[in-house]
Structure 1
Amino acid sequence: MNKEELKEKYGKKRVPHEWCGTDKFTALVTTFFGSGMSPKAPGTMGSLAATIVAYPMALLASSLFGDSIELSLGRFCCVNLYFLMAALIVFFGAIPFVNKAMRDTGTEDPGWIVIDEVCGIFMALTFFPTDIIVAHPWFLVIAFGLFRFFDILKPLGIHKMEKLPGAWGVMADDLLGGVYAGILLWLSAIGIYALAF
């Protein structure tokens, strides 16, 4: 994304309380329980809220399912089915709410819709074992930082996903950003493990 596109997307003035144009439940879902209502950096606030929620989710998954929720693809590689399911449920479940919110408010991908950031954070954690998240929660900070990098700059085809129609474009770019962030998170964990041992 070039400077002009960044300025157009993030530099525009927000209409205060724009989300009031839709019903309360839709606003609650699309702003992820109000985190997107932040007057400054709503995308960052939504990502932060999702990162905070991810820790108790990992604790719950670890206590209920243990390692059975991970699909092993080798010694250092797994797919965390719990966070994959969470990301996909948020992705497909949010589509009608995002479409309704944009239609009701006459907007196109407004900053206060942050449910897409939630999907992206959960997708980033899909490539990471739950027990490591529980034992080393600071990896969540790395996941947050990597995801925000991809969400803001939108490299490697992420920007093209925004061109999909309606809510699909709003959600898909963050899903792909989460995939890229997850791969880098996984690679960083391997690097840290190799240095430690």
Structure 2
Amino acid sequence: MNKEELKEKYGKKRVPHEWRKTDWFTTLVVTFFGSGMSPKAPGTMGSLAAAIIAYPMAWLALRQFGNYVWSISGKAFHFGFFINPFFLATALIVFFAAIPFVNKAMKDTGTEDPGWIVIDEVCGIFMTLAFLPTYTIVHYPWFLAIAFGLFRFFDILKPLGIHKFEKFPGAWGVMADDLLGGFYAGILLELGTAIAVAIGF
């Protein structure tokens, strides 16, 4: 047998990706513009794509809305305990808007939470960033790397009851655990930032 015949007989068969079974627009949404099509670590690639696109989003938000945050004390600080309404709204919009697309993708392909669906990771990254001021994201972009790392920690290990949210039916389970993971990551990011500022780091 020649090389090609050996490859054909014993080589690993190339199976078409499952996402090919649904329509192109649904694929575009659930793979977040194709980032979920990565053959290795699609969840990481989807999260990374979301973290990268978050920078120009923050830049535009800062120009349009300023550094407005919701604070417990009613005052806006660059660091402290607060919620960034822009990224909170973005995370919730992505969450609810993605539900029908995720359901359709899983139904069309006969899968349940396949790795190439990464719109849930995108939602989680945006939720994490809801605990950072827009000013901080724009002027200290290395915070995006910290947010990315913290979110991936919670997304992969799923501690503190996150895994229970996966049991929600259909797309709700796909999306909810990442939203909660983003919430935990954001809280930890904000606490760490507040401590660093308090000790003058």
TM-score, reference length from structure 2 = 0.88
- Tell me, in whole angstroms, the C-alpha distance in 1 between the residues paired with 2:140 and 2:15: 40
- Tell me, in whole angstroms, the C-alpha distance in 1 between the residues paired with 2:90 and 2:16: 31
Which of the two has greater helix per residue? 1
Between the aligned residues of both structures, percent identity stands at: 74
1:184 aligned to which of 185, 188, 198: 188
User: How far off is 1:193 after superposition?
Assistant: 1.3
1:100 aligned to which of 98, 104, 113: 104
- Tell me, in whole angstroms, the C-alpha distance in 1 between the residues paired with 2:86 and 2:52: 16
* Cα deviation code 1:142-197 (max 9, x no counterpart): 00000000000001010000000000000000000000000011011112212326
Alignment of 1:157-196 (within 5 A): 157-196=161-200
Which letter maps to 1:172? A
Corresponding residue for residue 72 of structure 2? 73
Corresponding residue for residue 59 of structure 2? 59
Alignment of 1:1-197 (within 5 A): 16-68=16-68, 70-74=69-73, 76-196=80-200
Secondary structure of the structure 1 residue equivalent to 2:40: coil
- Tell me, in whole angstroms, the C-alpha distance in 2 between the residues paired with 1:134 and 1:142: 14
Contact preservation (8 Å) 2:81, 2:194: no
Contact preservation (8 Å) 2:46, 2:122: yes
- Tell me, in whole angstroms, the C-alpha distance in 2 between the residues paired with 1:16 and 1:40: 16
- Tell me, in whole angstroms, the C-alpha distance in 2 between the residues paired with 1:151 and 1:15: 28
- Tell me, in whole angstroms, the C-alpha distance in 1 between the residues paired with 2:130 and 2:140: 16
Secondary structure of the structure 2 residue equivalent to 1:127: coil
- Tell me, in whole angstroms, the C-alpha distance in 2 between the residues paired with 1:117 and 1:22: 20
User: How far off is 1:130 after superposition?
Assistant: 0.7
Secondary structure of the structure 2 residue equivalent to 1:128: coil
- Tell me, in whole angstroms, the C-alpha distance in 1 between the residues paired with 2:94 and 2:112: 19
In the alignment, structure 2 segments of 5+ residues that lack a partner are 1-13
- Tell me, in whole angstroms, the C-alpha distance in 2 between the residues paired with 1:178 and 1:84: 11
Greater CA radius of gyration, 1 or 2?
2
Which letter maps to 2:122? V
- Tell me, in whole angstroms, the C-alpha distance in 2 between the residues paired with 1:184 and 1:135: 20
- Tell me, in whole angstroms, the C-alpha distance in 2 between the residues paired with 1:191 and 1:42: 33
Residues paired across the two proteins, number: 183
Which letter maps to 1:72? S
